[in-house]
Amino acid sequence: MTNKKNIADQATNDFDAVVVGAGFAGLYMLHLLRDKLGLHATAIEAGGGVGGTWYWNRYPGARCDIPSMDYSYSFSDELQQEWEWSEKYASQPEILAYLEFVAKKFDLNKDIRFSTRVIGADYNETDHRWHLSTDDGKALTARFLISGVGALSTAAVPDIEGIDSFEGQSLNTSSWPGEGADLAGKRVGIIGTGATAVQVIPIVAEEAAHLTVFQRTPPFAAPLLNRPLGREEQNEIKARYKQIREDSWNAFAGVPFYNVRPSAIADTPEQRREHYEDCWNEGGFSLWLGSYEDLLLDKAANDTAGAFVREKIREQVKDPEVAAKLVPAPELNYGTKRQPCETGYYEAYNRDNVTLIDLKADPIQEITPAGIRTKSATHQLDVIIYATGFDAFTGSLYRMNIRGREGKRLQDHWSAGPRTHLGLMTAGFPNFFTVTGPLSPSVLFNMPLSIEQHCEWIADCIAYLREHHLDTIETMREAEDKWITHVKEVADSTLLPAAESWYLGANIKGKPRVFMVYLGGGKLYKEICEDVVAKGYEGFTLTATSQTRAQ
Ligand code: FAD
Ligand code: NAP
């Protein structure tokens, strides 16, 4: 902890706090630690610049699916008044420019080590510090280790025979080349039809000579309906920002919808149809999160929305055989995987240069030097795009090789699935915090807001320790158990755990099936976090080490 005695350390590699990552989480965390608490803090970022998700995912069509005015920091009114968004849903370059602007405005870059990866983090029980190693051979220590590594920052690379033999160009959407990829006139194959692929496919279809889409599970995609954001509309939102942010916290997923009706079943078929049409025409997540409260809770309610979207898909695709392949199977409930938002996705399948391969009927056998061989055919390709998702939540944490008390590895403590209290801390790993860690609302909430709430909780916690001459905090195993049970109970009261989704780790071979997101809603979650603090950090052990006691 910084005190006068520690000031001499400031030119060294001994820090009060080290933050890993410089996306939305890392940037705000660093700002709070350094500028609010006055700590000697640094951030370490594997990428060559700030931005996280928006630094890496430069694929054509990448943009947010929550309106930019909501998908942005709220902590500084000056910032939110100053920044101008050009579209309702900003594109990747614009979100990256925004985060670069934030880093510059708050003078953060000087305390970030770029192009540096944390490859080891060991808790030392003698000096009560984290000892970190980085891939440039450096060693650092810190009293507090804060992970801002992101829930979606380690790619899930498919385990397909012959994958390395392909002699054309292989691209992964989550590490798309900064200079772009020239696909004009090429035969391109894309594996995956999740939210990422849904954004890429229509754009690549226009550029490539031919695009072959390899689909395993068809999604339920709804129109994004992006549009320019006029100055007047933006100013009107800015004038009401305080209220809008409050409304966001009161909304289940951190985005305000003002016309959510209680039950799809309680409405008549005519009322329901009209409401679904209105939501569909509003675009984005309006149907998914803004239509009915029981859509993700009640199978009968869900079926009504599922039928509506299936019908919309059929209407958009001219060839009924192609349409049939694009319609999700009856056993998949609508919205139990994240609903992709589309712009020209279904229309792309009406083009002559786009072919859809249904991998359920015609599975991939191998990747060859010349392309992809499925059971029934060989597809000659110049480029393969992998839009195959992420090893969500745990991928980047495990790659850091974190060891807590008695040298226990995080992946061993979490061998049956992530164990956290509130998604913030894990037992046996003192002073280690995870921003939007597993078992917090995280990816099923408007992420900049959930990130802010976590960063502020962590900063307040560190300030509390300092004020009370304490220097370690660690969650108790019983609190962890209780929280895990609660998260599971809430998830099991919804339809979401029934889907084979990355929320459950189902996309990664051998990953324990644990629903990793807290579904109690942001408002309740925030209240629980505040209550824990009000009760003197209930469920956590706070201690003074002998070094502190001696001062
Ligand atoms: P990230 O932005 O992922 O940043 C983590 C950083 O940590 C990365 O830059 C990474 O390089 C770095 N890092 C990881 N491990 C190490 C290490 N060992 N050493 C050093 N550095 C390391 N969420 C929404 O709410 N709305 C959206 O519309 C939305 N759109 C998305 C679109 C895409 C394509 C993707 C992939 C995700 C989207 N998300 C969206 C989720 C998105 O990840 C979050 O909104 C947010 O950007 C996460 O910020 P973060 O700082 O927590 O993590
Ligand atoms: P994803 O949702 O996990 O989709 C991955 C796709 O690849 C799925 O269609 C999956 O099929 C397929 N796939 C994986 N391995 C495969 C294999 N071996 N063979 C064939 N197909 C395979 O990943 P994502 O699309 O990158 O999206 C992840 C998350 O990032 C989203 O849910 C969202 O939270 C965020 N995101 C948001 C936006 C946005 O609009 N703002 C855009 C992109 C991403 P199965 O379904 O059968 O597994």
| Atom 48 of ligand 1, residue of closest alpha carbon | 150
Averaged over successive runs of 10 residues, the pLDDT of the chain (551 residues) comes to 41 90 98 98 98 98 97 98 98 98 98 98 97 97 98 96 98 96 98 98 98 98 98 97 97 94 98 98 97 97 98 98 98 97 98 98 98 98 98 98 98 98 98 98 97 98 97 97 98 97 96 97 96 98 72 40
Indicate which residue's Cα is closest to atom 41 of ligand 2: 64
d(CA 92, CA 89): 10
CA-446 nearest atom, ligand 1: 25
The predicted pLDDT at position 6 comes to 41
**Which residue is listed with tokens 């597993």?**
438
Which residue's CA is the closest to the ligand 1 atom numbered 50? 150
Dist. CA 193–CA 340, nearest whole Å = 9
What's the CA-to-centroid distance between 25 and ligand 1, angstroms?
8
pLDDT of residue 4: 37
Q: ∠ at Cα 232 (231, 236), nearest 5°?
A: 115
Assess whether the C-beta atom of 495 lies below 6 angstroms from ligand 1. no
Nearest 5°: phi and psi at 116? -135, 130
User: Would you state the pLDDT for residue 144?
Assistant: 98
Note the pLDDT of residue 547. 58
> What global pTM score does this model have?
0.97
**Cα-to-centroid distance, 21 and ligand 1 (Å):** 9
User: In this structure, which ligand is nearest to the CA of 152?
Assistant: 1
- Ligand 2 — pocket residues by CB below 6 A? 64-65, 152, 158, 160, 191-197, 199, 214, 216-217, 338, 341, 359, 387-390, 443, 502, 507
- Answer whether 44 contacts ligand 1 (Cβ < 6 A): yes
Residues 6+ apart with CB under 8 A from 464: 470, 533, 537
* Ligand 1 atom having least distance to the Cα of 399: 18
Residue where the block lists tokens 């869900």: 302
Expressed in angstroms and rounded, the spacing between residue 97 Cα and the centre of ligand 2 is 25
Residue 487 in 3-state DSSP?
helix
List, in sequence order, every beta strand (DSSP E) within 125-208. Answer: 129-134, 139-147, 169-172, 187-191
